[in-house]
Structure 1
Amino acid sequence: MLRATEEPLRISICHCHACQRRTGSVFGVQARFRLESVVIRGQATKYVRTSDSGGTGTFYFCPVCGATVYYQLEGLDDVVGVPIGGFANPNFPAPQVSVYEECMHHWVTLPDGLEHEA
């Protein structure tokens, strides 16, 4: 179980191949929180994966259902990433930024107003 005690630092859509494989979808949507603002309880299974940029991310999964609960990226030790779907809240704020768009499927349409990072 994970609970955030603060608003996210950033909410993003990632189109990289690693996120596509991790989610089984065409992109991942996640929120980043300060590590000290996240309360994590329960057990998790850990998997280290290499990103498209060559850095590593440590992903923590529910050992019962296999869902990604949270992850930490190499070099961002004070930040926790959480897939938005894990909150099961249709009122969760919309993403602010879209990354790795060079991997984006041609039929994906993004909402207006997103920042586009190279």
Structure 2
Amino acid sequence: MGEAPIREAGCCCGKLTIKLSGDPEYVSSCACQACQRRTGSAFGVTAFFKEEQVVGEWGEATVFERIGASGKPLFFRFCPSCGSTVWWEALARPGRIAVAVGAFADKDFPAPQRLIWADYKAAWVEPPNGAPVFPKSP
């Protein structure tokens, strides 16, 4: 068995990075309005890792806190220089780190396995081929 890959996600300017060991537990696309606003796109794509998969964090992050649909806070880590969101934690999912898939800048990164908050998606957004679609959060 080979060694687990080390994956590095970072901001646009390179001042904020996080390294993780191994593959994500799952990858999800989300069309909620909060993800639309966070990404400036029609949806967000997130890779979920266990906390123990974090190898290290470098750089100084600014934290933005908001209340999620669960009623519990989410803590977003973004670069104070370029503004890129790199990762976040949700108190509704303890022990998990959510990382913006685009921050990996890896064309071979695993595809999303589902689409959530589909009730808010743009009409032209299509779910990943064969992936389950949830009107809200599952």
Q: TM-score range by the shorter chain?
A: over 0.9
Which of residues 62, 66, 76 in structure 2 aligns to 1:45? 62
Of all paired residues, the percent bearing the same amino acid is: 39
User: How many residues end up aligned between the 2 structures?
Assistant: 118
Does the alignment pair 1:10 with 2:26? yes
Q: Note the C-alpha offset of 1:53.
A: 4.7
Does the alignment pair 1:107 with 2:124? yes
Q: Note the C-alpha offset of 1:45.
A: 0.2
The 3-state SS of whatever aligns with 1:115 is: coil
Contact persistence 1:62–1:68 (CA under 8 A): yes
Q: Note the C-alpha offset of 1:24.
A: 1.1
Consecutive unaligned residues in structure 1, runs of 5 or more: none
Which of residues 3, 17, 22 in structure 1 aligns to 2:38? 22
1:37-85 per-residue CA deviation (whole Å, 9 max, x = no partner) reads: 0122221000002234543211000121110010001222200000001
Which of residues 69, 77, 82 in structure 2 aligns to 1:65? 82
Q: Distance in 1 between matches of 2:88 and 2:43?
A: 16
The 3-state SS of whatever aligns with 1:113 is: coil
Dislocated runs of 4+, deviation >2 Å: 50-56
1:26-46 per-residue CA deviation (whole Å, 9 max, x = no partner) reads: 100010000110122221000
Contact persistence 2:115–2:128 (CA under 8 A): no
Contact persistence 1:10–1:32 (CA under 8 A): yes
Aligned residue identity for 2:94: D
Q: Distance in 2 between matches of 1:53 and 1:71?
A: 15
TM-score (norm 2): 0.80
Does the alignment pair 1:89 with 2:118? no
Contact persistence 2:60–2:80 (CA under 8 A): yes
The 3-state SS of whatever aligns with 2:126 is: coil
- Structure 1 residues 77, 111: closer, same or farther in 2, change over 3 A? closer
Contact persistence 2:113–2:128 (CA under 8 A): no
